[in-house]
Homo-oligomer: A and B are copies of this chain.
Amino acid sequence: MSIRIAVDAMGGDYAPVETIKGAIEAAREYKVKLQLVGQVDKIENELAKYNTKDLDIIITRADEVIEMNEAPGSAIRRKKNSSIVVAVDSVAKGESQAIVAAGSTGAAMAASLFGLGRLPGIDRPAIAVVLPTMKKYVVMLDAGANATCEPNMLHQFAIMGSIFSNCILGVKNPRVGILNIGGESGKGNTLVQNAYKLLAQSQDHINFIGNVEGRELFMGYSDVVVCDGFVGNVTLKVTEGVANMIFKMLKDELTKSVWVKLGAFIAKSALMRLKKKSNYEEYGGALLLGIKGVCVIAHGGSKAYAIKNAIRVAKESIERDINGKISEMYELSRIL
């Protein structure tokens, strides 16, 4: 039986055009079935552009859309017919096995939490993102679901992040660090000091390597880095902000004279590869971990390529039973 993915066809800056384009590419490449949720006429208009005869696509009506600036909690209660709420419902009813959404992160999280519930043993879901490093990738969580955290939540993030790193990125025995402002165990605020003690006691099920500083995050020393959602969200956006600034400066500098332009033209392939390496579209969006279900939150600015990758991550999360493994490891951590 192949997997069906519910795609919020209305969410994101380039919806429904790029969302549906990416979904169709994913359906073809990864052999998944689709459930496109949103305004039927708009979805049908987009589908008409493609030959979809060989694909299994159902359309589910949802006339409302939650905008990026709406308060998530009240928006999902008020807009029961919004594409994200209906997409989550379709997973709750078993019509699809996972949700992919590029709209409001808060709304996707709130809808998933209320519509599907939490995994046993997990206090709060977390958003896991994949960042590039000089070597491979690093999974960072929480990237913004919880502005305030308790030490035991960071322990749960460490479990979930380890499973993600292993299942999705194929890392054996992933190295887990705490994002901190110094290397020694006593460094940082009370949260990370206490989380350090918890993780140091959990070496039997977590490969804890200690604190990781902001600079080291990009050196590839660790496979998973845990932090509260405030620090994680700032880190994620600072990473994006610095990369955008450098590429903008690079572009400005490389178009300043004909001579320099010529050099840039010759080196174009290298510059394109660099851009690709540091591009969030490669990593397939953020995975909401800790809920009874799979929800991949793609970047608001996702184009087809990012949506396609987000669907790949959703499919792999189901096939590799990421939630089953999180529950198993949680049970193990309780027994030990």
**A residues within 8 Å of B by Cβ?**
69, 132-134, 144, 147-148, 179, 181, 184, 187-190, 192, 213-219, 227-231, 233-246, 248-250, 253-254, 256, 259-260, 262-271, 273-274, 277-278
Residue of B nearest to A143 (CB): B181
Q: Is the CB of B278 within 8 A of A230?
A: no
Q: Is the CB of A238 within 8 A of B259?
A: no
Q: Is the CB of A181 within 8 A of B266?
A: no
Measured CB to CB, the closest approach of chain B to A191, in angstroms, equals 9
Q: Is the CB of B148 within 8 A of A229?
A: no
Task: Point out the residue from B217, B262, B270, B274 that lies within 8 Å of A241, measured CB to CB.
Answer: B217
* 15 further A-B pairs in the complex, CB-CB below 8 A; given A214-B234, A216-B241: A69-B184, A181-B237, A214-B233, A217-B237, A218-B241, A227-B234, A231-B231, A235-B238, A243-B246, A250-B270, A253-B274, A254-B267, A259-B266, A262-B263, A263-B264
List B contacts of A254 (CB < 8 A).
267, 270
Task: Point out the residue from B133, B230, B260, B269 that lies within 8 Å of A266, measured CB to CB.
Answer: B260
List B contacts of A244 (CB < 8 A).
215, 218
Assuming the A-B contacts A148-B189, A190-B148, A234-B235, are A271 and B253 also in contact, with contact meaning beta carbons closer than 8 angstroms in the complex? yes
Q: Is the CB of B263 within 8 A of A237?
A: no
Q: Is the CB of A214 within 8 A of B236?
A: yes
Residue of B nearest to A259 (CB): B266
List B contacts of A277 (CB < 8 A).
249
Question: Could you list some 21 contacts between A and B, CB below 8 A?
Answer: A69-B184, A134-B249, A148-B190, A189-B228, A189-B230, A213-B237, A214-B241, A218-B238, A218-B245, A230-B231, A235-B235, A238-B242, A243-B246, A246-B246, A250-B274, A253-B270, A253-B274, A254-B270, A256-B270, A260-B267, A263-B266
**Ranked 8 nearest A-B pairs via Cβ:** A214-B237, A263-B266, A263-B267, A253-B270, A214-B238, A218-B241, A181-B233, A215-B241
List B contacts of A229 (CB < 8 A).
181
List B contacts of A265 (CB < 8 A).
263
User: Most chain-B Cβ atoms within 10 A of its Cβ — which of A148, A237, A277?
Assistant: A237
List B contacts of A263 (CB < 8 A).
262-268, 270
List B contacts of A215 (CB < 8 A).
237-238, 240-241, 244
